[in-house]
Structure 1
Amino acid sequence: MTQSPSDPHLAFAVFRPRRGRIVAITFAVLVLAAFTLVAIVAPGAEWKPFDRALVIAFGLAIAWFLLRFAMIRAVPTRESLVVRNLLTSRTLEWSEIVSVEFAGADPWVSLDLADTDELAVMAIQRADGPRARKEAARLAALVTALGEAGDR
């Protein structure tokens, strides 16, 4: 059963992946710890402080990327949907969204837009199983209730 868009506590909850977020945060911590450990205890006198700092910096870069993945989300309001994917963010008015697609083997939901463009919503991921289908249905209900593009 999907939540009704008239229930603001449930309908306007932020869309976030569950499994992908947990994996990304866990690996960010592990990568940073591993690279720091290697930089500190690396054998050999050939490693200068600058070399060690570069190894830690590389670990930080990987951890940053993983944390970006952990921060993906879609934030619905009565006026719009803000989609924050891995590297980009986009704000859409509900009237710009024609339909919500979550078919086949697609890894995440995609939105068909009125300008014939398509936008991935990485916040709703197939890896989350039944929860992802419920979240896709909730997003589709919001588009139906608040959008106008489907009425054209």
Structure 2
Amino acid sequence: MTATDRLLTFHPRSVAIMASVMGFSLIALFGVIWTQFDQGTRDTFSWFQRLTLLAFFGAILWLLYRMATVRITAYADRLHIRNVFKTYTLPWSDVSALRFRAGDAWLQLFDAEGNRIGVLAIQASEGGRASKAAKELAAVARAHGAGPKQTPGS
């Protein structure tokens, strides 16, 4: 899979900027707090407490990283959706509808089984940029066979 295989990629800039700023701010804040402790105070933390703090800090940074990297990528044969907690890869034949109406927080994708998947990459907070991406994605989807499936005789 190369960059030339991609037909369309979209990711929200505002979320990526917000998550990056928060991540760097947390690193700076915790770094300053830790260095301002005198050695006696630092020595009162057991190895388990230090490990717990690092695990908690790591979980927050991982969550911010995932938020900063949400995206949707359309390929000729499939659609790849990276949300915060889950990643989906669907062949175009499994995409039955895309919906991004006024008032929706993000694009909604409906698969062939009727399941709804929120596509966090295309968010209303991105304004016209997201609307344009939703329209482009819908055009790519139609061109590659996505849409409601017709049963014989209907």
- What is the TM-score normalised by the length of structure 2? 0.82
Q: 1:66 and 1:100 mapped to 2: Cα distance? A: 27
Change (3 A) 1:54 1:39: farther
Residue in structure 1 matched with residue 14 of structure 2 by the alignment: 19
Counting matched residue pairs gives 144
The equivalent residue for 1:36 is 31
**Residue 93 (structure 1) aligned to one of 91, 94, 114:** 91
Q: Counterpart amino acid of 1:69? A: M
1:49 and 1:83 map into 2 onto residues whose CA distance is 42
1:102/1:108 contact within 8 Å kept: yes
Q: Is the 8 A contact 2:8 2:137 kept in 1?
A: no
Contact 2:97 2:146 in 1 (8 A): no
- Where does residue 5 of structure 1 map in the other structure? none
User: What is the 5 A alignment of 1:1-152?
Assistant: 12-42=7-37, 45=41, 47-48=44-45, 50=47, 51-52=49-50, 54-150=52-148, 152=150
C-alpha displacement at 1:150, in angstroms?
3.0
Q: Is the 8 A contact 1:35 1:59 kept in 2?
A: no
Q: In the alignment, residue 45 of structure 2 is paired with which amino acid?
A: K
Q: Which amino acid aligns with 1:61?
A: A
> Residues 15 and 137 from structure 1, CA distance in 2 versus in 1: closer, same or farther, beyond 3 angstroms?
same
Deviation (angstroms), 1:36:
2.5
CA shift at 1:124, angstroms? 0.7
Contiguous gaps of at least 5 residues in structure 2: none
Q: Max radius of gyration: which structure? A: 2
TM-score, normalised via structure 1 length? 0.83
